[in-house]
Structure 1
Amino acid sequence: MPDLAAGLLATGSGGLVGLVLGLVGGGGSILAVPLLVYVVGVASPYIAIGTSAAAVSASALGNLMTHWRLGNVKWRCAVVFATAGVVGAFAGAAVAKAIDGDKLLALFGVVMIVVGAIMLRRRGTGGNPDVRLTTETARELLPLLVGIGFGVGLFSGFFGIGGGFLIVPGLMLATGMPLSHAIGTSLVAVAAFGAATAVSYAISGLIDGWLAGLFILGGLVGGFLGTGLSKALATRKQILGTVFASLVIVVGIYIVTRGVLALTGTA
């Protein structure tokens, strides 16, 4: 069980991630690992990644229910994409645990910089809302869903993140579905990838259950507040997204710098 200070910091960090997710949508979970390492004080990058994966999976399941009720989940596409991705996530997690912790964090920082740059690009909202995975469309859709799903899952498992920022465009690329459906459908994969990564790390004893629980609790509260603020700030959504993407880049640069200094022995 963490001490009081660590518990409060974990809950607050989870709340921040939930708030960001509620305000600007997918991508907020990428802040979970750096928050656990640099704010909560988790010493091991592996425990931070495993704990983050468990928290992200639980949060995705909570948000999935809302999108399901709104009719935004393409279940057949989601199941195929997520199944292929889970295989990739287990493989990615296995590889990550064999890499030096400082190198892993430095790589994570590089990914944050790239993700921030991608998020700065405005995503289109077009697409076919009636797309379905059927016997007629399987020849076209299945190879893309399996291939892209495995690749995104591999990435997600390696870094212990939900991967929503890749899953959403991946689903749009594979199926041509619109953004609103891709966001809802992506949560199935986010939950599955996070669970697969968390199981892999849990088997190795690399998850702090108490911290994960407190992080999830904070995330639920933060998500509720973020959703309310998102409605109030709907006209400024693009500005909020730009600010968040810039924050991701800045944090990524900080992590890379810390990682390089640690690897060179000058930290």
Structure 2
Amino acid sequence: MELLGLSMAMVGLFVGFGLLIGVLFGFFGMGGSFLVTPALLVMGYPTRVAVGSGLAFVFGTSVIATLKHRDLGQVDYKLGLLMIVGTTAGIEVGKQTVVYLEALGLAGSIISVTYVFLLGGIGAFVTYEAVKGDSDGGIDHDAAEAAADADDIPDIAKTIQSYNVPPMISLRGGVTVSLWMILGVAFATGLLSGFLGVGGGFIRMPALFYLIGVPVPIAVGTDLFEIVFSGGLGSFLYALDGGVDLSIVVPLLAGSAFGARIGSAATSIVNEDDIKVYFGLMLLGGALAVAVREIGKVYEMPILNRVSLVLILGSALLVSGAVVYSSITALREESRTASPAVE
């Protein structure tokens, strides 16, 4: 029996994968296609289809997660709209670069190598921050409670905010920063979005916090709001060239619809310090998976493709499980604390 051109086993795999990634996407404002696209490449899909379908999946999932963050008051629409302006130009440049490299037969390898360096570098940084226990530099949802306190933002963000390059823009959380810095971050992440087939969240969300100084919960919600547009535009452009496979996207979205709501809700109850080390390890796992796949291609070892896919799925399962477990633990602690008061 087949559905949308896929066997039921493959449909089940995509639905389950979508569920895991939906949790990550809603919780971190990232974790969508930077796992989906490498997985599709490992499974043998053409580069353009893997990138385009990854963007289409990001678009659908970000809509679901953004609605939840909007309910929590964690979306800065002004910042989101400014990010869209810079991202739009970046996506087109990235997409044209993929088309050019594909014509030369170099797209798959170059995109894979870029994934390895980006995911590995960011993963190593996040893991280092987690192990070091630097709560100021790490990604911490508790920062929402002190969003207006300028001392709670990273030093580099304070330095950037000190540069008075008009026009200056006031953002939620008492943040004031140059318009040109916002547009620069947006263009860079848009370029990566179009080139790698990612929403850009695994770079943009940390950039909003570390570079611009936006409080983390607002950075997550605003990032997701922006991804609605960047993912929609990117998937539309790839769809025009036949790069979106609905038989992949539909089952992924079916799973992520539920997962994204869980992840978004968890941002208000979980201390992310408890699991950020796992997030860093997930990025490192993604980088390792792509590296293993490339080694398999060079040395003609098909078994490494399966190893790569297991690493990707395992990374998503590990961190999604950590988010759910931490949510349940936090709710139990709240319940335990409230019980004496009820008595």
Normalised to the residue count of structure 2, the TM-score between the two structures is 0.67
1:265 Cα deviation from its structure 2 partner: 4.9
Once the two structures are superposed, residues 98-156 of structure 1 have per-residue CA deviations (whole angstroms, 9 ceiling, x without a partner) of: 3322332233233221231233231363654899xxx9734952211112211111112
SS at match of 1:247: helix
CA contact (8 A) 1:113 1:249 kept: yes
Partner Cα distance (2:205, 2:265) in 1: 23
Moved more, 119-128 or 218-227: 119-128
1:219 Cα deviation from its structure 2 partner: 0.6
Partner Cα distance (1:165, 1:245) in 2: 11
Structure 1 residue corresponding to 2:73, chosen from 47, 71, 74: 71
Over 3 Å counting, the alpha-carbon distance change for 1:204 and 1:263 in structure 2 is farther
Q: Which residue of 1 aligns with 2:224?
A: 187
Partner Cα distance (1:110, 1:174) in 2: 20
Structure 2 residue corresponding to 1:48, chosen from 47, 50, 58: 50
Task: Figure out how many residues of one structure are paired with residues of the other and give that number.
Answer: 259
CA contact (8 A) 1:51 1:208 kept: yes
Amino acid at match of 2:35: L
- Structure 2 counterparts to residues 115-126 of structure 1, below 5 A: 115-120=122-127, 121=129, 122-123=138-139, 125=143
Over 3 Å counting, the alpha-carbon distance change for 1:225 and 1:84 in structure 2 is closer
Amino acid at match of 1:14: G
Amino acid at match of 2:29: G
Q: Identity of counterpart residues, as a percentage? A: 22
Moved more, 184-193 or 174-183: 174-183
Amino acid at match of 1:201: Y
1:243 Cα deviation from its structure 2 partner: 1.7
Moved more, 98-107 or 57-66: 98-107
Once the two structures are superposed, residues 223-262 of structure 1 have per-residue CA deviations (whole angstroms, 9 ceiling, x without a partner) of: 2344567777x35x43422123213212311311321442
CA contact (8 A) 2:167 2:178 kept: no
Partner Cα distance (1:179, 1:13) in 2: 26
Over 3 Å counting, the alpha-carbon distance change for 1:114 and 1:140 in structure 2 is closer
CA contact (8 A) 1:15 1:218 kept: yes
Q: Which residue of 2 aligns with 1:157?
A: 194
Q: Which residue of 2 aligns with 1:111?
A: 118
CA contact (8 A) 2:95 2:194 kept: yes
SS at match of 1:97: helix
Over 3 Å counting, the alpha-carbon distance change for 1:208 and 1:161 in structure 2 is same
Q: Which residue of 1 aligns with 2:179?
A: 142
SS at match of 1:162: coil
Partner Cα distance (2:264, 2:69) in 1: 13
Structure 1 residue corresponding to 2:31, chosen from 21, 28, 33: 28
Q: Which residue of 2 aligns with 1:169?
A: 206
Amino acid at match of 2:191: L
SS at match of 1:221: helix
Tell me: higher relative CO, structure 1 or 2? Use CA pairs within 8 A at least 6 residues apart: 1
Normalised to the residue count of structure 1, the TM-score between the two structures is 0.84
Amino acid at match of 2:239: A
CA contact (8 A) 1:84 1:149 kept: yes
Partner Cα distance (1:239, 1:37) in 2: 32
1:190 Cα deviation from its structure 2 partner: 1.6
Where do 5+ consecutive residues of structure 1 fail to align?
none
Where do 5+ consecutive residues of structure 2 fail to align?
130-137, 151-160, 170-175, 303-343
Amino acid at match of 2:63: L
Amino acid at match of 1:137: M
Partner Cα distance (1:108, 1:11) in 2: 24
Partner Cα distance (1:146, 1:250) in 2: 31
From the CA coordinates, give the structure whose radius of gyration is larger: 2
Once the two structures are superposed, residues 155-189 of structure 1 have per-residue CA deviations (whole angstroms, 9 ceiling, x without a partner) of: 12111111112222333456433222221111122
